[in-house]
């Protein structure tokens, strides 16, 4: 995932005080905004909601203290199975 977009989304969540379980994208305009950002960053496939799920799931999985319990908790919060959750995980490039 692109670090710039990840930081943007984290800031958006913080500024808008979005809590776990609340919808990040409440209207079509926000979805369109994220889709346009993705295109500018070179991501030409997938929807905005899936992309956000990928960012969050990958952040949790690729954190240094990641545990299977945290994966299960996040899958439940995102209202999908652990099997579906696995499809959202993207491997981060190793830090140089």
CA separation for the pair 4, 56 (Å, rounded):
14
Separate counts of helices (H) and strands (E) for the chain: 5, 0
Q: For 1-15, how does the pLDDT look when each residue is reduced to its tens digit (9 = 90+)?
A: 567 778 888 888 888
What average pLDDT score do residues 45-63 get?
A: 79
Q: For 57-91, how does the pLDDT look when each residue is reduced to its tens digit (9 = 90+)?
A: 888 888 888 898 988 888 888 888 888 878 888 76
- Going by C-alpha positions, the residue among 29, 28, 27, 25 that lies closest to residue 12 is 25
pLDDT at 95 over 60: no
* Angle at CA of residue 88, ends 82 and 89, nearest 5°: 90
Domain-wise residue ranges, the chain: 3-88
What average pLDDT score do residues 25-51 get?
A: 72
pTM check: above 0.85: no
């Amino acid at each position: 995932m692109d670090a710039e977009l990840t930081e943007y989304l984290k800031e958006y969540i913080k500024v808008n005080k979005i809590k776990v379980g609340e919808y990040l994208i409440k209207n079509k305009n926000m979805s369109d905004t994220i889709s346009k950002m993705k295109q500018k960053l070179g991501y030409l496939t997938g929807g905005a909601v899936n992309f956000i799920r990928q960012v969050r799931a990958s952040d949790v999985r690729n954190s240094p203290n990641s545990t299977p319990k945290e994966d299960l908790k996040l899958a439940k919060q995102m209202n999908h199975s652990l099997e579906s959750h696995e499809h959202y995980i993207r491997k981060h490039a190793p830090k140089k």
